[in-house]
Amino acid sequence: MSESKSSDREAAGKEIKEALRLLNQKLEKMGKDIQVVADKTQKYVEAKAPVVESKIDESMERASKEFKRMMSSLDKQTRPQQSQVLKNYKAFLEGQLTRVERRLEELGK
């Protein structure tokens, strides 16, 4: 009976070693697959970042020109009209700021 238990333990030990070896192989393959995905993602971001940056720059330039145009036309309005327009514009900018802050928080996670 003692020999039987000993051979059972050896067999169980071999099965465990084999299972651990296979698990280790699968983990290594998963690590390599994750690295491939990370590399592809990095390349995509690097390729798209200049395009996105360019679009943001263009949008900011257009917004700046529109703001200058609005301010020059604002000077022609009455004080109460100017006040109302500026209050509305301030509310708009606060909304934009909130969106930017939310996006930055998401990116920080």
Do 55 and 15 share a domain, yes or no? yes
Do 42 and 90 share a domain, yes or no? no
pLDDT at 51: 85
Do 53 and 8 share a domain, yes or no? yes
pLDDT at 2: 64
pLDDT digits (tens, 9 = 90+) for 10-31: 888 888 889 889 998 988 998 8
Q: Is 70 part of a structural domain of the chain?
A: no
Do 55 and 88 share a domain, yes or no? no
> Cβ(82)–Cβ(74) under 8 Å?
yes
Residues 56 and 38: their CA atoms lie apart, in Å, by 25
Angle at 72 between CA 55 and CA 95, to 5 degrees: 50
Q: Is 106 part of a structural domain of the chain?
A: yes
> Cβ(106)–Cβ(95) under 8 Å?
no
Do 12 and 55 share a domain, yes or no? yes
Q: Is 71 part of a structural domain of the chain?
A: no
Q: Is 54 helix (H, G, I), strand (E, B) or coil?
A: helix
Which residue segment(s) compose the domain that 14 sits in? 1-62
Do 46 and 98 share a domain, yes or no? no
pLDDT digits (tens, 9 = 90+) for 48-82: 888 888 888 898 899 889 888 888 888 888 999 98
Q: How many domains does the chain have?
A: 2
Given a cut of 70, whether residue 1 has pLDDT beyond it is no
Given a cut of 90, whether residue 101 has pLDDT beyond it is yes
User: Residue 43's pLDDT band (boundaries 50, 70, 90)?
Assistant: confident
Residues 31 and 37: their CA atoms lie apart, in Å, by 10
pLDDT at 53: 86
Q: Is 72 part of a structural domain of the chain?
A: no
Instruction: For residues 91-98, give the mean pLDDT.
Output: 92
Do 58 and 19 share a domain, yes or no? yes
Residues 65 and 71: their CA atoms lie apart, in Å, by 10
Q: Is 67 part of a structural domain of the chain?
A: no
Instruction: For residues 30-42, give the mean pLDDT.
Output: 88
